[in-house]
Amino acid sequence: MALTIQSAQSIFSNTQVPSLIPATIALFDQLNVDDQLAYLWYAYTEMGKTITPAAPGVARLQLAESLLTQIKLMSPEEQTKVMRDLASRADTPISRSYGFFSVNTKLAFWYELGELMKQGLVTPIPVGYQMSAGVRLVLEETQKLDQGQQITVLRNTVVNMGFDTSELAPSSYPKAGAEPAFQRTTPTISSVKIEGVTEPAVLGYIEAMNADNFDAAIALFTADGALQPPFQKPIVGTAAIAKYMREEAQGLNMMPQQGICEVRGDGSKQLKVTGVVQTPWFGVTVGMNIAWRFLINPEGKIFFVAIDMLASPQELLQLTRVQ
């Protein structure tokens, strides 16, 4: 029987996905534009006392430097309008430039914008703004999450801002430049051991991702394989997966702990692995509890891998058979 993405998504269907993250993001999406900007301001300043983003580095900020310089030179009213345009996804030159940024550069942009707000060089929130009940609710819900889950919420608040450039031809608007690589501050994990799992494709995938060797990781997939990031649709095909990895998976430290492997009737294998992932944006002090669900074809290639965020650290120990 041929493997399909739809059937692959159902493996280990009892893997729990935390409802608080999408629910919190949905609450944010319901805020008006000024409330969304206020949430980001309070989140980056108040929550930043317990979750401190790592400085993005000069190389990455160079991609956003032109936009940040333009904003610094604007009047407070113009600065507010630019941020409103970004939040409302308006079709403006700055929103288009922002739309071409990768997730990591978008995070760098908002990190630096927050720093400029603290320095008084950029207006933080509209003059006279009073925190609404909606902003207060989203902040309260965000604060209930653990640090790894808060990272995901903050990421999703900025990733869809700016004008959607996905439908634009590459030449229709100049991109800022190639994404620089994150400089790792910890030694690369060159050998991975997972209790209960010896599948070469799985071990090779983790090792390649920990080394930012995306070519090696892609070589482990079938041509029609898929990768499904948390709370997203599957990314299908090696070219699309490679693009995603280079833009969004740089500098990750994947630390799988244990897993289970089941051989299916057609010779393919389904595996579930649990562990912790550290992102370069928040350093080694914050880890996200993750489950990877792999479907390996009979030839030993990765046909499908889904990355699920777990609701609690306790779920790292809950490895049960597929229902």
Tens-place pLDDT, residues 31-84: 999 899 888 888 776 655 555 555 555 545 667 788 899 999 999 999 999 999
214-273-198 Cα angle (round to 5): 80
Average pLDDT, the chain: 82
* Spatial distance between the Cα atoms of 84 and 70, rounded to a whole number of angstroms: 15
The partner residues of 263 in beta bridges, in order of sequence, read 269
pLDDT tops 90 at residue 180: no
Higher-scoring residue by pLDDT: 187, 212: 212
Ordered alpha helix ranges (H), 211-301: 214-218, 238-248
Domain 5-18+181-317 falls under CATH 3.10.450.50 = yes
Q: Which residues contact 216 (CB under 8 A, 6 or more apart)?
A: 204, 208
Instruction: Please state which CATH class domain 31-172 belongs to.
Output: mainly alpha
pLDDT tops 50 at residue 6: yes
**pLDDT band at 126, cuts 50/70/90?**
low
Higher-scoring residue by pLDDT: 177, 205: 205
Handedness of CA 280, 284, 286, 288 (dihedral sign): positive
Identify the CA nearest to 39 among candidates 74, 94, 87, 96. Answer: 87
Which run of H or of E encompasses 313?
Answer: none
Q: Let me know how long the chain is.
A: 323
Q: What is the DSSP string of 35-56?
A: HHHHHHHHHHHHGGGTS-PPP-
For residue 171, the model assigns a pLDDT of 45
Domain ranges of the chain: 5-18+181-317, 31-172
